[in-house]
Chains A and B, each alone.
Chain A
Amino acid sequence: MAFTNENLVVAQEILARYPKPKSAILPLAHLAQDQDGYLTQDAMREIAELVGVTPAEVLGTTSFYTMFKRDPVGRLVVSVCTNVTCLVLGGPEVLEHLERRYAGDTEVTIEEVECLAACGNAPAMQVNYEFHESLTPEGAADIVDAYKRGELTARGVSGGTAGGGA
Chain B
Amino acid sequence: MMGHATETRIITKRLRDRTEDSWTLAGYTASGGYDALRKALAMEPAAIGAEQVAAAGLRGRGGAGFPTGTKWSFLPEGTYPRYLVVNGDEGEPSTFKDRMLVERDPHQLLEGIAIASYAIGCNKAFIYLRGEFALGFERLEAARLEAMAAGFLGENILGTGYDLDVVIHRGAGAYICGEETALLSSLEGDRGQPRIRPPFPAVAGLYAKPTVVNNVETLSTLPHIVAMGGEEYAKLGVNRSTGTRIFSVSGHVNRPGNYEVELGMTFRDLIFSPELAGGMRDGRPVKFFIPGGASSQWLTGSDEHLDAPLDMDYVQQTFGVMLGSGAVMVYDDTTNPALVAWRLAKFFAHESCGKCTPCREGTGWIEKILYRISHGEGRPQDLDLLLDVGDNISPGLNAPFSQTTICPLGPSAVSAVVSLQNYFRDEVIAMCRATA
Q: Is the CB of B96 within 8 A of A83?
A: no
B174-214 interface code vs A (CB 8 A; 1 in, 0 out): 11000000000011111110000000000000010000000
Q: Is A66 an interface residue (CB 8 A)?
A: yes
Q: Please determine whether A84 and B170 come into contact, CB atoms closer than 8 angstroms.
A: no
Chain B: minimal CB distance from A124 (Å): 9
Asked if A136 lies at the interface with its beta carbon under 8 angstroms from chain B, I say: no
Main secondary structure of the interface of B (DSSP, over half): mixed
Segment touching B, from A1-9, A14-22, A97-105, A141-149: A14-22
Is A30 a contact partner of B172 (Cβ separation < 8 A)?
A: yes
Q: Which of B92, B258, B294 meets A120, CB within 8 Å?
A: B258
Q: A19-B207, A26-B169, A131-B135 known; A114 and B91 CB under 8 Å?
A: yes
CA distance A88 to B173 in the complex (A): 23
Majority secondary structure of chain A interface residues (helix, strand, loop or mixed): loop
Is A122 engaged at the interface, CB distance under 8 Å to the other chain? yes
CA A166 – CA B133 in complex, angstroms? Answer: 12
Answer yes or no: B367 CB below 8 A from chain A CBs.
no
Q: Does A163 lie at the interface of the complex (its beta carbon under 8 Å from any beta carbon of B)?
A: no
CB distance from B128 to the nearest CB of A (A): 10
Interface mask (A117-137 → B, CB under 8 Å = 1, otherwise 0): 111111000101111000000
Closest approach, in angstroms, between the C-beta of A43 and any C-beta of chain B? 14
Cβ A26 vs Cβ B170 within 8 A: yes
Q: A22-B188, A67-B132 are in contact. Are A114 and B172 (CB under 8 A)?
A: no
State in angstroms the CA–CA spacing of A57 and B361 once bound together.
25
Report the minimum CB–CB distance from A31 to chain B (whole Å): 10
Q: Looking at the complex, which one of A64, A155, A161 makes contact with B192 (CB distance below 8 Å)?
A: A64
Closest to A33 in B: B172
Interface range, A side: 35 or more
A112 to B: closest C-beta gap in Å = 10
A18–B167 CB distance below 8 A: yes
Q: Could you tell me if A116 and B192 are in contact, using CB atoms closer than 8 angstroms? A: no
Instruction: Please tell me which one of the listed residues B93, B134, B350 contacts residue A84 in the complex, with CB atoms under 8 A apart.
Output: B93
The residue that B335 contacts in the complex, of A19, A62, A88, with Cβ under 8 A, is A88
A60 part of interface (Cβ distance < 8 Å) = yes
Let me know if A41 is at the binding interface, CB within 8 A: no
Does B67 belong to the interface (CB within 8 Å)? no
Instruction: Point out which of B92, B98, B191 has the most chain A C-beta atoms below 10 A from its C-beta.
Output: B191
State whether A159 and B134 are in contact (beta carbons under 8 Å apart), knowing that A66-B172, A121-B256 are contacts in the complex: yes
Query: Residue of B at shortest CB range from A91?
Result: B343
B99 within 8 A of A: yes
Q: Which of B93, B138, B170, B256 is A30 in contact with, Cβ under 8 Å? A: B170
Q: What are 16 contact pairs spanning A and B, CB under 8 A?
A: A20-B188, A22-B188, A26-B189, A61-B189, A65-B173, A65-B174, A65-B192, A67-B172, A84-B343, A85-B251, A114-B350, A115-B95, A117-B132, A120-B256, A129-B131, A129-B132
